[in-house]
């Protein structure tokens, strides 16, 4: 006597397997879904932002701004 398999096979019925995984193993299923949306958003968000009217994406500074002028020496720490 053979019954149905314990879980659907992914390559034979992928949608049925995804439904089974979302019910029986939700932590794995939704962590994979969230992880796969990252690369998709990297590709799709910048063109959408330009279409919606954003002129230019802010540039990331590559150095720390150094103040102009003389720097006061700290005193009172007794490290000399």
Task: With cut-offs at 50, 70 and 90, classify the pLDDT of residue 11.
Answer: confident
pLDDT of residue 8: 65
8 Å CB contact between 46 and 38 = no
The pTM score is 0.50
pLDDT tens-place string over residues 22-73: 999 999 999 999 999 999 999 999 888 888 887 776 777 888 888 888 888 8
- Distance, in Å, from the CA atom of 42 to the CA atom of 57, rounded to the nearest integer, reads 13
| pLDDT number for residue 7 | 63
CA 19 to CA 15: how far, in whole Å? 6
Q: What is the 8-class DSSP label of residue 12?
A: T
């Amino acid at each position: 006597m053979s019954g149905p398999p314990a879980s659907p096979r992914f390559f034979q019925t992928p949608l049925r397997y995804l439904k089974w995984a979302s019910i029986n193993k939700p932590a794995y299923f939704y962590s994979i879904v969230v992880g796969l949306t990252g690369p998709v958003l990297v590709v799709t968000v910048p063109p959408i932002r330009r279409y919606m009217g954003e002129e230019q994406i802010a540039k990331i500074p590559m150095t720390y701004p150094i103040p102009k002028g003389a720097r006061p020496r700290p005193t009172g720490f007794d490290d000399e």
